[in-house]
Chain A
Amino acid sequence: GAVVSQHPSRVICKSGTSVKIECRSLDFQATTMFWYRQFPKQSLMLMATSNEGSKATYEQGVEKDKFLINHASLTLSTLTVTSAHPEDSSFYICSARDSFAQPQHFGDGTRLSIL
C-alpha cells in the first residue's frame, strides 16, 4: 500500500522549454502533496506544499512563477518548471500523505537535465 507514482523519471530538454512532472497517489487519497529538490550528497530541500484544491505554499527562495504547482484532485499533483534553464537541472521528488499524522510516501523522482 501507499504507492506514489511520479512521471517522467528522466527529462532532457533545451533551455527555455517548460517541463511538467506528474505525481499520483495510486492507492490512497493524498490530502497533502509535497515537492522536493535534491542535489548530489545533499538532503531533500522542500520546495512547496500543496493541499487539494488550494494554492500551494512555497518555501522561502522558491519562485512560484517559475515552479507552478497544481493539486487539482486527491490523487494528482503536477509541477511545471517554466522556461527551464541549466541551473534548474536537478532531481525533483514528490511525496504525498493522507493525513497529518501519517508519513509521507515518495515517488521515485524525476531527473531533469536542461541543456
Chain B
Amino acid sequence: EDQVTQSPEALRLQEGESSSLNCSYTVSGLRGLFWYRQDPGKGPEFLFTLYSAGEEKEKERLKATLTKKESFLHITAPKPEDSATYLCAVQAGSQGNLIFGKGTKLSVKP
C-alpha cells in the first residue's frame, strides 16, 4: 500500500535555528514528490516538485532533497513567517493522484 509518513509531527525552533523535516514514503512507481506549505484555514501552497533521487530544489530559506526512500525539507535560519504546516505528497497511479502525509507543524519563535 502506498504510504507517506512525515516526522516530526511538530517542531519548535528559535529564529535562526536551522533544522530539517522528514518525509519517508513507500510507493510503487513514484512519479513525483511534492512539498506544500499550509497556513491555518488556508489551502496548501505549492513549494517544490522532485522527480528523481539526488535531485535538489531551493527557494529562499528552504531546500528540498530526495532519495529513493525519503525526502528532506531543510530550513536554514528560519524566521517567524516560516511558521506553517509543511505537507509532503507523492504522486502515484495512472491518474497521478497525490497521497499526502499528515504534515509537520513548524513554529518559529522570535
Contact = CB atoms under 8 A, between A and B. Distances in A.
Given A43-B100, A43-B101, A43-B103, A57 B95 contact: yes
B43 A103 contact: no
Given A34-B97, A49-B97, A100-B96, A43 B102 contact: yes
Contacts of A101: 32
Interface stretch (A11-19, A62-70, A104-112): A104-112
Interface string A81-94: 00000000000010
A114 interface: no
Given A49-B97, A57-B95, A42 B49 contact: no
Given A34-B97, A103-B46, A104-B46, 19 more contacts: A2-B46, A46-B98, A49-B97, A57-B95, A93-B43, A93-B44, A95-B43, A100-B96, A103-B34, A103-B49, A104-B34, A106-B36, A106-B45, A107-B43, A108-B41, A108-B42, A108-B43, A109-B41, A109-B43
